[in-house]
């Protein structure tokens, strides 16, 4: 099978999704032809020569890679100029976040291609193995970025997260105690903040309590419990997720009035539409804006700030799926790999993921794909 990977055309994104295995070799060692868009790995300190040394071929331009590939690997969702190149016989494997992207969904449906979203590949325990590595990175960045934005020169309150002897530490609220939330909380604990993690799953709160060992508190997440804590918060990190669906709003515009002046909101869930009512997507080059004197940080691609860490973290997780798709073909891989099957969002012109269909109020179509939703 021929597959290719390319850097994306968005301004800040500089990772490549180079398929290298644990020996550092790419899929070409398994007899597949690997096309890499020229310069795709530069941001992650992987030169074109590193790919060619492992047997990959460098493609001069986007037209060449999209024209030749059967399996297209990316990091972020395809841009409009890429969607029009997608063909029915191709498989696209990348982050898609379609619940908040009706136009992209329409474009993918029109292509007829099989589009598998990293973020909805789900294992037998309901975990998201291809979202987890980016969530680990984003969770850790969320606290670092939030702490930075609390500094006065960055427009913040002028509060040191860890405090000093005689001066209290900052209060950090993490809403959503999944992979992002745990990692955000661990960094906040490391910075010696006062940390509260809001969750809905009692089982998850039991796990978190064990991990925290008394260094952070878990709180059942409700409108009331969040409202009670907001007046104390210096930094609030939003990290909720309902698989495949648009993020619920856990803080409304009205509730911003409960917060301290120049407190910071970091909305990690922005790629699923944002979990604060006042969130809108931002970029690393212009990451924040103010609403009602509260700083909002809503960067959609937080791991793009650390491309070397992020590239290896992502490809460590995606490579087994990539090799299975390449070796068995898309139908063969989907027939036997239940987690991968749950990753299919759009195929044959139809939406085949229930949560995506529900979020977009579209018809769900499963015929012909034999998608058993639960492994
Ligand atoms: N911006 C970025 O760069 C970036 C990077 C990685 C992940 N993300 C996003 O971060 C979000 C979280 O990802 P994750 O991997 O931690 O997901 P996860 O599934 O591991 O965790 C989500 C948690 O939210 C909890 N939850 C759901 N509704 C809640 C509510 N109302 N109140 C409190 N908790 C609630 C769930 O019980 C779950 O534990 C996702 O939207 C993901 O796409 C963004």
Give the CATH number of the domain where residue 340 resides.
Answer: 3.40.50.720
Q: In testing the pocket of ligand 1, which one of 202, 241, 243, 280 has its CB within 8 Å of the most ligand atoms?
A: 241
At 32 the pLDDT is 87
Q: What is the pLDDT, as a whole number, of residue 364? A: 73
Ligand 1 pocket test target in 15, 176, 208, 342 with most atoms within 8 Å of CB: 176
Ligand 1 within 6 A of CB of 241: yes
Residue 181's pLDDT band (boundaries 50, 70, 90)? Answer: very high
Beta pairing class for 114-117 and 344-347? antiparallel
pLDDT of residue 15: 31
The pLDDT of 316-340, averaged and rounded, is 96
Residues 136 and 274 in one domain: yes
**Residue 345 C-beta-side C-alpha neighbours within 13 Å:** 33
pTM score of the predicted model: 0.85
CA distance 36 to 19: 10
- How does the average pLDDT of the chain come out, rounded? 90
275 and 327 co-located in one domain: no
- Among residues 296, 297, 189, 177, the alpha carbon closest in space to that of 240 is found at 177
Q: Work out whether strand 33-37 and strand 2-5 pair parallel, antiparallel, or are unpaired.
A: parallel
Ligand 1 centroid to 51 CA: how many Å?
34
Q: Which residues are catalytic?
A: 97, 271
Do 118 and 318 contact (CB within 8 A), yes or no?
yes
Predicted pLDDT of residue 12:
25
Whole domain around residue 46: which residue ranges? 2-121+307-359
Confidence of residue 308 (pLDDT cuts 50, 70, 90): very high
The phi and psi torsions of 29 (rounded to 5 degrees) equal: -70, -15
Q: Looking at the structure, do residues 312 and 244 belong to the same domain, yes or no?
A: no
Looking from the CA of residue 267, the nearest atom of ligand 1 is 1
Q: At what angle do helices 202-212 and 179-190 cross, to 10 degrees?
A: 30
* Same domain? 298 vs 317: no
Q: Are 249 and 330 in a shared domain? A: no
pLDDT at 5: 56
- Residue 38 sits in the same domain as residue 171: no
Give the model's confidence band at 29: pLDDT under 50 very low, under 70 low, under 90 confident, else very high: low
Of the candidates 105, 20, 25, 9, the residue with the CA atom closest to the CA atom of residue 61? 9
Judged by phi (left if over 0) then psi (alpha if -120 to 50, else beta), residue 368 lies in left
User: What pLDDT shows up at residue 28?
Assistant: 58
Q: Which residue has the tokens 């009035």?
A: 257
Q: How confident is the model at residue 140 (pLDDT cuts 50, 70, 90)?
A: very high
CA atoms within 13 A on the CB side of 237: 36
Q: How far is the CA of 58 from the centre of ligand 1 (A)?
A: 36
What is the pLDDT, as a whole number, of residue 245? 84
Please report which confidence band the pLDDT of residue 65 belongs to, taking 50, 70 and 90 as the band edges: confident
Task: Identify which has the larger pLDDT, 363 or 306.
Answer: 306
Pairing relation of β-strands 91-94 and 194-199? unpaired
Three-class DSSP category at 118: helix
Token pair recorded at residue 200? 């809905």
Cβ of residue 302 lying under 6 Å from some atom of ligand 1: yes
């Amino acid at each position: 099978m021929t597959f290719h990977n390319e850097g994306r055309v968005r301004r800040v994104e500089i990772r490549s999704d180079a398929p290298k295995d644990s020996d550092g070799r790419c899929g070409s060692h398994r007899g597949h032809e690997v096309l890499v868009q020229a310069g795709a790995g530069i941001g992650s300190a992987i030169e074109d020569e590193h790919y060619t040394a492992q047997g990959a071929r460098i493609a001069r331009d986007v037209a060449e890679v999209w024209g030749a590939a059967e399996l297209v690997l990316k990091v972020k969702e395809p841009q409009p100029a890429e969607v029009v190149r997608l063909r029915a016989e191709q498989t696209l494997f990348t982050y898609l976040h379609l619940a908040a992207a009706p136009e992209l969904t329409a474009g993918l449906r029109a292509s007829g291609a099989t589009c598998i979203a990293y973020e909805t590949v789900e294992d037998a325990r309901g975990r998201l193995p291809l979202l987890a590595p980016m969530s680990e990175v984003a969770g850790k960045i969320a606290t670092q970025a939030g702490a930075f934005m609390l500094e006065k020169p960055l427009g913040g309150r002028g509060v040191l997260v860890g405090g000093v002897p005689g001066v209290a530490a900052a209060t950090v609220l993490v809403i959503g105690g999944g992979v992002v939330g745990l990692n955000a909380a661990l960094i906040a604990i490391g910075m010696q903040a006062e940390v509260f993690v809001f969750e809905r799953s009692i089982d998850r709160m039991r796990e978190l309590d064990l991990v925290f060992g008394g260094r952070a508190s878990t709180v059942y997440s409700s409108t009331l419990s969040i409202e009670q804590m907001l007046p104390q918060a210096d930094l609030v990190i939003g990290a909720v997720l309902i698989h495949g669906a648009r993020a619920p709003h856990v803080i409304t515009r009205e509730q911003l009035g409960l917060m301290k002046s120049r407190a910071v909101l970091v909305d990690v869930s922005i790629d699923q539409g944002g979990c604060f009512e006042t969130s809108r997507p931002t970029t690393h080059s212009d990451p924040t804006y103010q609403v009602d004197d509260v700083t909002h940080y809503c960067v959609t691609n937080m791991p793009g700030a650390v491309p070397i860490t992020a590239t290896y973290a992502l490809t460590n997780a995606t490579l087994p799926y990539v090799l299975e798709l390449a070796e068995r073909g898309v139908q063969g891989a989907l027939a036997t790999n239940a987690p991968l099957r749950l990753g299919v969002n759009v195929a044959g012109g139809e939406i085949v993921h229930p949560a995506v269909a529900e979020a977009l109020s579209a018809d769900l179509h499963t015929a012909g794909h034999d998608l058993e939703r639960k492994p």
